[in-house]
Chains A and B, each alone.
Chain A
Amino acid sequence: MPLLVRRLEEDDLVNRFDCGDQALNDYLKRFAWQNQHRHSVGVTHVAAEMEVPRAVIGYHTLASSSIPKSSFPGNAGQRLSPYHNVPVVLLARLAVDRRFQQRGVGQMLLQHALDLSLAVREQVGCRCVLVDAYASAVPWYGRFGFVPIGGAPAGAPTQKMFLDLRTVEAAILRE
């Protein structure tokens, strides 16, 4: 099943997409294009089969974010950045259609998202990738080195996770 990953386009076929999670389905169908094209609040890349390149079978959405240095407790922020903010890349969403799950599409999308994050680190500068993962996805991200960030409010539906981009870089350099 040769696949391609590319930036979301307006005429992509997204209506049949079903990853099993209503919020992630709705985001792709209702908001992803508008957010990317009109509001600039997230860039979505989609996976598709080469033979059916318009039909979306998976996607990820990346956004940049920053954390004000002053919001860190004590002088912790001082060590992280000489400037006012600590820049980070947020892997805001990643989902695969149910019909294509367990076939490596998610890994392909994650690899693509990390490649883009490394390019951002190289060209603009950022420290890490963060993901706010559903509890069910925490072990999957953990396999690739994402570390849970403790301290979420009790009952929070998601878990923030951290991956140092130097670790990703080292994964390439070690080859």
Chain B
Amino acid sequence: MRFQAEIPTRDQRILSSLMRDLEIQSNAELLAHLISIARWAVVERRQGRRIASLGAQGPVRELVSPLLERVAPEHQLPCVEIHWTPEELANLAALASAEPAMPAEPLRGLMRRS
């Protein structure tokens, strides 16, 4: 498969620097390595494991990425289907498109416990 991408100048510089540091000769080789690392990170996070770096003496530094959190099991709710009438969907669209309502006092009281 042929892969092409437009990237900003700043990322081009980072890419070149990475290739130098890792002694990689081609974009294809770099991409293959990055795919392996990304795949590993996704599999780890999907299994509920967190990704961190360990220093000899310093504190553990955790990699937190909103992208990876999309596959984290603690944020995965099982999916179910809801049956809708066209009228319900029209009303739901109106509600979801409107500005959010101000929270009622009981809701504020409820969330105060959070």
Contact = CB atoms under 8 A, between A and B. Distances in A.
Interface of A: 35-36, 39-43, 62-67, 71-73, 76-77, 79-80, 86, 89-90, 92, 107-108, 110-111, 114-115, 119-120, 123-124, 127-128, 130, 132, 143-145, 147, 149-153, 160, 162, 164, 166-168, 170-172, 174-175
B71 to A, nearest CB: 9
B110 A144 contact: yes
Contacts of A77: 93
B82 A120 contact: no
Size range of the chain B interface in the assembly: 35 or more
A123 B70 contact: yes
Nearest to B69: A123
Interface of B: 66, 69-70, 72, 74-82, 84-97, 100-104, 106-108, 110-114
Interface of B is mostly: helix
A124 B75 contact: yes
A40 B80 CA distance: 10
A39 B112 CA distance: 34
Contact of B92 (A40, A62, A149): A149
Contacts of B104: 143-145
Contacts of A120: 75, 77
A120 B69 CA distance: 10
A80 B88 contact: no
Nearest to B101: A167
B108 A171 contact: yes
A89 to B, nearest CB: 7
Contacts of B76: 64, 124
Contact of A124 (B70, B87, B90, B96): B70
